[in-house]
Amino acid sequence: MTTPKHVAVYYTGGTIGMQQTPAGLAPAANLASLAAPIFQEYSHQLQCDWFICEPLIDSSAITLDNWQTWLNWIDSKAADYDGLLILHGTDTMAYSANIIALARPQLSIPVILTGAMLPLAADNSDAPLNLHTALAAFSLSGFTQTAIAFNGQLWPAIGSSKISTERAEAFANPQFGTLAQWSATDGWFNTNLPVGTPPAAPVRYSISSSARIHCFTLTPGANLDMITASLTHNPPDGVVLQSYGNGNTPADAGFLAAIRHLDQQSIPVLNISQVLQGCTSAVYAQGHELRTAGIINGGRCNLETALAILTLAASNHWNKEQIENLLHQQHLL
């Protein structure tokens, strides 16, 4: 008989544990007892300890302080457990998964995030399948990544996005695809797990609650003026620019001057594509002026990954070269 693995479960809120209130769905504290029959099915393989976040939140209320609190929780549990399960609202789950993966890049245990589109107690809830997918992930041998388990799929944190508010298939990773798929009948299949690297010394990056990252999506029309005015008059600590296609923008003189000025002040501007499976690269002459104005090429970063990188960059005083090194390490360039 194999010894059960120890898993710490951190319930942060989200629809999975919500109840109806006069104002709409809101987090409730009794999820552990509702989920007990599902966890019981794994009792031979997993010993799970529950930790309840105070206060529970709808994840659309997330703050940078929440992230630092959750990283502190991870640090306090990582040495004593074989895996961590974070129950999280779906609205910002992909943002949290990205920040955890990048802020704690060398954990020697898996961190699995899951949640649900419908409360566990609701008819036809997707929560049981999501919990099964998450709990089964702890049996994947040698798996030590941060990942989202949802609807029978295991997604790598980096590059994942919420793609639906209507369907159980609510997450995807257009850049990196799925790590593995799970069903009650077949267990894990289509596995494409990274080859385990020996755990290196733990790396811990912090999150400053004062990190100010502004994200802009370029659209035809007056939006460019708004972006230029904001960059000029209200410079933040870092900018994510979701430009067109391969990273192209209008060659507008005022806009380019604002970008150059940010570069002179060592404020990173990470240029990413607004296309779901986009990659910024030097393809078009149209993007040449922006490329030479001092932006960082974000390559295959999606919004969630780009925001996480710049939040960590601002919090830990990374320079341009350190950001580019990280993009290479994460196969985003």
Tell me which residues are annotated as active site.
15, 90
Among 90, 242, 243, 311, binds ligand ASP (CB under 6 A): 90
Backbone angles phi, psi at 290, to 5 degrees: -65, -45
- Does residue 146 have a known ligand-binding role? no
> Is 150 in contact with 47 (CB distance < 8 Å)?
no
Task: Provide, rounded to whole angstroms, the least separation between the CB of residue 21 and ligand ASP.
Answer: 13
Task: Provide, rounded to whole angstroms, the least separation between the CB of residue 324 and ligand ASP.
Answer: 32
- Does residue 266 have a known ligand-binding role? no
Q: Which stretch binds ligand ASP (CB under 6 A): 8-16, 139-147, 229-237, 247-255?
A: 8-16
Count of CB atoms situated within 10 Å of the CB of 291: 17
HEC-encoded secondary structure of 217-231: ECCCCCHHHHHHHHH
Q: Which stretch binds ligand ASP (CB under 6 A): 57-65, 199-207, 234-242, 252-260?
A: 57-65
Number of residues in contact with ligand ASP under rule CB under 6 A: 11
Q: Is residue 89 close enough to count as binding ligand ASP by CB under 6 A?
A: yes
CB closer to ligand ASP out of 35 and 241 = 35
Q: Is residue 287 close enough to count as binding ligand ASP by CB under 6 A?
A: no
> Is 247 in contact with 297 (CB distance < 8 Å)?
yes
Residues 102-141 that bind ligand ASP (CB under 6 A): 115, 117
CB closer to ligand ASP out of 115 and 159 = 115
Q: Which stretch binds ligand ASP (CB under 6 A): 55-63, 73-81, 104-112, 267-275?
A: 55-63
Place of tokens 């990773």: 173
Centroid of chain to Cα 116: 16
d(CA 110, CA 7): 10
Q: Is residue 94 close enough to count as binding ligand ASP by CB under 6 A?
A: no
CB closer to ligand ASP out of 91 and 263 = 91
CB closer to ligand ASP out of 85 and 272 = 85
Closest CA to 169 of 155, 157, 158: 155
Q: Residue 275 corresponds to which tokens in the numbers above?
A: 């296309």
What beta strand segments (E) does the chain contain? 5-13, 18-21, 24-27, 46-57, 83-87, 111-114, 146-150, 153-156, 161-162, 171-172, 180-183, 187-189, 213-217, 238-243, 269-273, 296-297
> Is 84 in contact with 109 (CB distance < 8 Å)?
yes
Task: Provide, rounded to whole angstroms, the least separation between the CB of residue 195 and ligand ASP.
Answer: 33
CB closer to ligand ASP out of 89 and 152 = 89
Q: Helix or strand or coil: residue 192? A: coil
Task: Provide, rounded to whole angstroms, the least separation between the CB of residue 90 and ligand ASP.
Answer: 3
Count of CB atoms situated within 10 Å of the CB of 209: 11
Task: Provide, rounded to whole angstroms, the least separation between the CB of residue 189 and ligand ASP.
Answer: 26
Q: Is residue 8 close enough to count as binding ligand ASP by CB under 6 A?
A: no
Strand partners, 109: none
Q: Is residue 160 close enough to count as binding ligand ASP by CB under 6 A?
A: no
Can you give the binding site for ligand ASP, defined by CB under 6 A? 13-15, 58-60, 89-91, 115, 117
- Per the annotation, binding residues are 59, 90-91
- Per the annotation, binding residues for substrate are 59, 90-91
